[in-house]
Amino acid sequence: MTKHLHPEALRYVNADPNAKLHWIRSRKWLSYDLGTKALDEIEMILNHPPTHRIPSMLLIGQTNNGKTMILEEAIQRHPPERNPVEEADRIPLLFLTMPPGPELRRFYTLLLNHIGAVFKPSDTLSRLETQVLTLLRAVGTRAIVIDELHNILGGRFSDQRQFLNMLRFLSNELRISIIAAGTKNAVRVVQSDDQLANRFKLFSLPEWRDGRDYRKFLFLLEATLPFPESSDLYKSDIAKTILTVSERTIGEMIMFVSEAATIAIQENALALNAEHFQRANYVSPSRRAANAQEIVG
């Protein structure tokens, strides 16, 4: 009766409701086709031999459509490594979220904080830069991973140019890749620098449409839900409801299904049904935006 479940989810079928809810809300990677292709591209970049013009990558997609999930999975596959022989651990992928504006000092201090370095924030920019270069070499970083790259647009154009020059400098000097993610505005950022534009491979994550890939994703998602009986989401009319109400992004789809599953678990249901989705505590992105607009007037 539980053959539809992933082995990890199977462990929670007879667990108490709180444990089930914690499992449902915890981070998981679902090996959907486009996400797997993106990770394969990242692996190809990481396996590229160090060169003066090493390739980089930009994941493009609307908000909550899987960009951060892919970056986090790449980090999980290349975690920091304890090195008892060397003075520092190895950090193959250094992950950070782009701050709201292209301020070099803030970015350098973020990098140093993520490495766990001891430094003086009041040091000159040149000294911070030297420390970043020295430590990234010491920890064996192969790529700097930057989420929300479009935040660069929060600064003046001259600051944006200076920041892009800095990224190119780090890539050239250390012979490492930049793996970034952002909305379509991030493409404008990269394309504004001809040299960077030639190095960045663009990988688009479009909004979801009904079809084989979407139904396969629902099959994988359902396999993580600890219900003893199959809900058959991937071949029911509920699939179209999920796609429409969530407004076609993977993060919203997962959120909608999780909220419906919460109702079902609280009722000790054997599987999900349409009524659980109707009663789910979920509000679509456009409705949330409209509600916010009503509040502010």
pLDDT score recorded for residue 294: 83
Of 141, 171, 205, which residue is a domain's last? 205
Residues 135 and 62 in one domain: yes
Q: Which sign does the torsion angle of CA 5, 249, 264, 271 carry?
A: negative
> Could you read off the pLDDT of 164-192 as tens digits, one per residue?
999 999 999 999 999 999 999 999 999 99
In a domain, 53, yes or no: yes
Residues 113 and 182 in one domain: yes
> Which position has the token pair 């058959």?
232
- Residue 163 is part of a domain; what is its CATH number? 3.40.50.300
In a domain, 120, yes or no: yes
Q: Could you give phi then psi for residue 282, rounded to 5 degrees?
A: -135, 135
pLDDT score recorded for residue 2: 77
Cα separation, 108 vs 127, whole angstroms: 10
pTM to 2 decimals?
A: 0.94
- Domain residues for 260? 7-28+224-296
Tally the domains of the chain: 2
In a domain, 213, yes or no: no
Cα separation, 53 vs 65, whole angstroms: 30
pLDDT score recorded for residue 86: 67
In a domain, 216, yes or no: no
Q: Quote the tokens at residue 126.
A: 């040149």
Residues 41 and 16 in one domain: no
Low-confidence ranges of the chain (pLDDT < 50): none
List Cα–Cα distances, 105 to 99, 121, 123, 128, 210, in angstroms: 11, 8, 9, 8, 45
Cβ-based burial of 284 (10 A; exposed 0-12, middle 13-18, buried ≥19) = middle
Of 144, 177, 205, which residue is a domain's last? 205
**What separation, in Å, do the N-terminal and C-terminal C-alpha atoms of the chain show?**
52
Residues 50 and 197 in one domain: yes
C-alpha Rg value of the chain to the nearest Å: 22
Of 176, 205, 234, which residue is a domain's last? 205
Nearest to 204 by CA among 36, 43, 38, 30: 38
pLDDT score recorded for residue 3: 84
